[in-house]
Amino acid sequence: MTQRKAGKRSISFGPGVGITASSTVVGPMEAAGPLGRYFDTVLPDTKYGEKCWEGTESKMLKEACESVMQNAKAQPEDVDIIVTSDLLNQLTSSSYAVREMPINHLGVYSACAGFAEGVIVAGMALVGGFASKAVVAVSSHHDAAERQYRFPTELGVQRPPWAQWTVTGAGAAFLEFPAPDPLVVSRATLGRVVDYGVKDAYDMGAAMAPAAADTIEAHLQDFGLPINHYDLILTGDLGSYGLEVLRELLARRGIVVDTQLEDCGALIYDRNKQDVHSGGSGLGSSATVFNGYVLKQIPQGRWRKVLLVATGALHSPVRVKQSESIPSVAHAIGVEVKES
């Protein structure tokens, strides 16, 4: 089976791009959630010894990169491309995280869909013969994000019940082609930016659900798959409210979800004990839950085929003040354990 374009939106990675290692770094709140034990490194606090949150985020992202290379037993010199993403203006977390790494760097941005976008970009380079080893790493930090997108952190703001909490976390994956192990990324579907008119900066879950529905539908069509081909469909950060909107939108398109449909943001926190309203959001949401919780349990047989649909709300604070709405995009990667 060779790599090829599939339909109008998708890519088949042929024999598959191997995921040979992963790493996760999370803040204390994420470690205190129900998935705490699946994360590799836990920060003692949200500062991690840095003077500002932007510095903390870069430090987290850098550590995720260094850990994943260690886990893959690779030297930086062996890595052909590192693809990173974060939520801050000018991708500052990325730039400062990689500035001492002697590795070719591509920075990508699609808000919280960045991890899947990174895997797609790296995957295309790998199967295209332009690289044989790549690292994909992304991060988000709650306070750095709040400060930029919404309000100063000590301001007494009351968030509505559909709001989400940006995850403080970084996740990285080490990719190789040809794949040395059976765990591979075999398929991907590229997202298209859509805008369904959502103007509330707290309403990201709803803003992203149509993009997720669109990408899932395209994926199933391009590959001729039923939705239950996958044991688990995992969205990035729709939150509990956005997830239910997605389920209903899919049903209205004739796709009844008869397999596990979960959302990283809804899984990462205990919504009863932690004040996160609809759940987690941010690049850290999909990156930590996928690279920690999911990838650690696939070898144990919990799932064999997982579709990660990373969702991004392309929120521009400037444009929202100019009375524009918030467009969104969703990129999907299909991961599986190949039969030998």
Partner 1 sequence: MDYLMAFLVGGLICALGQLLYDTTKLTMAHVMVLFVVLGSVLTGVGLYDKLLTLGGAGASVPVSNFGYVLTKGILSHLQRDGWFGLLSGAFELAGAAIAAVILFGFAAAVAFKPKG
Partner 2 sequence: MMGSNVKRPSSSDPVRVEHQMDFDAVAAQMRPKPLLARNLAVAYLVGGVICMGGQAINNLLLSLGLDKAAAGGRTAVVLIFIGALLTGLGVYDQLGRFGGAGSAIPITGFANTVVAPAMEFTREGYVLGMAAQLFSVAGPVLVYGLASAVVSAAVRYAAGF
Residues contributing to the site for partner 1 (CB under 8 A) = 46, 53, 142-143, 146, 152-154, 157-158, 199-200
Terminal CA-CA length for the chain: 14
What's the CA gap between 17 and 132, in Å, rounded? Answer: 10
| 153 vs 260 by CB, closer to partner 1 | 153
* Closest of 232, 195, 228 to residue 210, by C-alpha: 195
| 212 vs 227 by CB, closer to partner 2 | 212
| 46 vs 285 by CB, closer to partner 2 | 46
Specify the pairing of strand 81-86 against strand 105-107.
parallel
DSSP 117-161: HHHHHHHHHHHTTS-SEEEEEEEE-HHHHHHHHS--TTS-----T
In whole angstroms, how close is the CB of 46 to partner 1 at the nearest point? 5
**List of E strands, the chain:** 4-6, 10-26, 41-42, 81-86, 105-107, 133-140, 165-166, 169-176, 183-189, 232-235, 260-263, 280-281, 305-313, 328-337
In whole angstroms, how close is the CB of 30 to partner 1 at the nearest point? 14
Q: Could you tell me which residues are beta bridge partners of residue 219?
A: none
Q: Which does 66 bind (CB under 5 to 8 A by kind): partner 2, partner 1, none?
A: none
Q: Specify the length of the chain in residues.
A: 340
| 5 vs 199 by CB, closer to partner 2 | 199
In whole angstroms, how close is the CB of 275 to partner 2 at the nearest point? 7
| 200 vs 244 by CB, closer to partner 1 | 200
Q: Which does 46 bind (CB under 5 to 8 A by kind): partner 2, partner 1, none?
A: partner 1
| 80 vs 202 by CB, closer to partner 2 | 202
Angstrom distances, CA of residue 62 to CA of 12, 24, 89, 96, 128: 30, 11, 18, 8, 27
In whole angstroms, how close is the CB of 278 to partner 2 at the nearest point? 7
Q: Which does 325 bind (CB under 5 to 8 A by kind): partner 2, partner 1, none?
A: partner 2
What six digits make up the tokens of 253? 């398109």
In whole angstroms, how close is the CB of 272 to partner 1 at the nearest point? 22
| 46 vs 189 by CB, closer to partner 1 | 46
Q: Which residues bind partner 2 (CB under 8 A)?
A: 51-52, 147, 151-162, 195-200, 202-203, 206, 209-210, 213-214, 241, 244-245, 248-249, 252-253, 275, 278, 325
Q: Which does 202 bind (CB under 5 to 8 A by kind): partner 2, partner 1, none?
A: partner 2
Angstrom distances, CA of residue 95 to CA of 67, 86, 88, 129: 18, 10, 11, 26
Q: Which does 130 bind (CB under 5 to 8 A by kind): partner 1, partner 2, none?
A: none
Q: Which does 142 bind (CB under 5 to 8 A by kind): partner 2, partner 1, none?
A: partner 1
Under 8 Å CB-to-CB from 16, ≥6 apart: which residues? 179, 184, 185, 186, 336, 338
